[in-house]
């Protein structure tokens, strides 16, 4: 195949590109410039898409022996990822920018351009597996459960999966990938993994949002509506948060209180006891399927609500109005805007954005 290898400048994408060449494919490397004014250097494991990352990717491509280009996707990234992130927080939701980047940039904008240029597939260093089953191509978890990234790939549809290549999916551990990179002479063999939000490299999401969204003082209330404190901007809070709450009225039982809900229209933050974070039901209208779609009605599955959360056995119901999921045991602190990924064993069924949650603990209980 003619393969376009997305090279971030890290070890995973470099080894993935090298394996694609070794498998006999015609490979071209590309680094995506996602910021018009990218930083020069990375700070440890924070940030990505810096000039340093682009140079690391170029050196890896040179060592592998493939052509290499840098493509400017900064405008698309701003519109589809950064602006979406800001809009979701303004609406009181908690978005996952990595999901949006995979959905809108790496496997939409990049894949579209790759196909236009005659490539057959886009190769990335994600830890996930593709299985060609009798019922069609399937997305599965990676062999290394600790590194599995199928959750953030749950937004991919069947057409996108048909033009995707994941060479690292069957690798037993990340340590083996680093060892292989060292054997190949790749200078990124021991480069730290990126984490946190790439466009907020200092990790201060609260401060960054305050600049973009603006801070307006509002009330913090309990589940009955009684005012128990104040805040300087509802955008700074997310469901499950405990720290940073300015509470002037202690809880009757003296226990800590947690954020249960953010109401942007009234600029109100709702707090309550830890047990009220238990979520008995989630639902959403925006969904997609990673391959064959389930039939309308109810079906058993496992549901994962965060990248590193344990999957929970659940019953999902697909109807005209969207998807409703009821877990066997309550989820822990789900916020609107989060992505719920549905699994059948190791196979990704699909995903949906959570629009509505139902607490497992009634008010006053």
- Residue 195's region, left for phi above 0, alpha for psi from -120 to 50, else beta, is beta
Q: How many CB atoms lie within 10 A of CB 78?
A: 15
CA distances from 334 to 4, 82, 238, 360 (A): 37, 22, 10, 12
Structure tokens at 199: 């466009």
Query: 261, 239 in Cβ contact below 8 A?
Result: yes
Catalytic one of 48, 123, 198, 301: 198
101 is catalytic: yes
Query: 144, 31 in Cβ contact below 8 A?
Result: no
Query: 189, 209 in Cβ contact below 8 A?
Result: no
Q: Please enumerate in sequence order all residues whose Cβ is within 8 A of that of 358, keeping only pairs 6 or more positions apart, or say none.
A: 279, 280, 281, 282
Query: 176, 15 in Cβ contact below 8 A?
Result: no
Which single residue is written with the structure tokens 């003296």? 254
Q: Which own/partner contact pairs does 146-151 have at CB distance under 8 Å and 24+ positions apart?
A: 146/173, 146/174, 147/173, 147/174, 149/307, 150/341, 150/343, 150/346, 150/348, 151/304, 151/306, 151/307, 151/339, 151/341
End-to-end CA distance of the chain: 60
301 is catalytic: no
Catalytic one of 98, 101, 123, 301: 101
Q: How many CB atoms lie within 10 A of CB 40?
A: 7
Report the alpha-carbon distance of residue 263 to residue 259 in Å, rounded: 11
Sheet of 227-231, strand order: 246-247, 227-231, 218-221, 268-272, 258-263
Query: 215, 206 in Cβ contact below 8 A?
Result: no
Which residues carry out catalysis?
101, 198
């Amino acid at each position: 195949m003619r393969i376009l290898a997305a090279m971030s400048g890290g070890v995973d994408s470099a080894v993935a590109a090298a394996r694609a060449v070794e498998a006999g494919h015609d490979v071209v490397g590309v680094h995506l410039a996602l910021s018009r004014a990218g930083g020069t250097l990375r700070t440890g494991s924070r940030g990505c898409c810096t000039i340093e990352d682009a140079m690391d990717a170029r050196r890896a491509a040179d060592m592998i022996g493939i052509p290499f280009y840098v493509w400017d996707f900064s405008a698309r990234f701003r519109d589809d990822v950064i602006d979406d992130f800001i809009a979701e927080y303004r609406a009181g939701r908690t978005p996952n920018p990595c999901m949006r980047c995979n959905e809108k940039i790496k496997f939409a904008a990049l894949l579209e351009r790759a196909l236009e240029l005659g490539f057959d597939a886009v190769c990335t260093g994600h830890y996930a597996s593709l299985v060609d089953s009798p019922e069609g191509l399937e997305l599965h978890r990676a062999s290394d459960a600790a590194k599995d990234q199928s959750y953030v790939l749950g937004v991919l549809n069947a057409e996108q999966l048909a033009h995707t290549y994941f060479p690292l999916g069957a690798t037993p551990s990340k340590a083996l990938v680093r060892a292989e990179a060292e054997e190949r002479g790749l200078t990124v063999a021991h480069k730290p993994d990126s984490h946190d939000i790439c466009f907020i490299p200092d990790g201060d999401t609260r401060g960054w949002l305050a600049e973009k969204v603006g801070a307006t003082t509002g009330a913090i209330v309990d589940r009955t509506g009684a005012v128990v404190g104040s805040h300087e901007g509802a955008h700074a809070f997310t469901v499950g948060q405990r720290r940073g709450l300015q509470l002037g009225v202690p809880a009757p039982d003296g226990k800590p209180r947690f954020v249960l809900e953010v109401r942007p229209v009234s600029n109100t933050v709702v707090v309550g006891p830890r047990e009220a974070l238990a979520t008995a039901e989630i639902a959403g209208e925006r969904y997609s399927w990673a391959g064959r779609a389930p039939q309308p009605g109810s079906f058993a599955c496992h549901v994962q609500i965060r990248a590193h959360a344990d999957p929970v056995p659940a019953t999902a119901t697909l109807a005209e109005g969207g998807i409703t999921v009821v877990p066997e045991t309550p989820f822990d602190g789900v916020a609107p805007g989060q992505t719920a990924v549905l699994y059948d064993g190791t196979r990704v069924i699909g995903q949906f954005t959570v629009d509505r949650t139902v607490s497992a603990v009634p008010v006053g209980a």
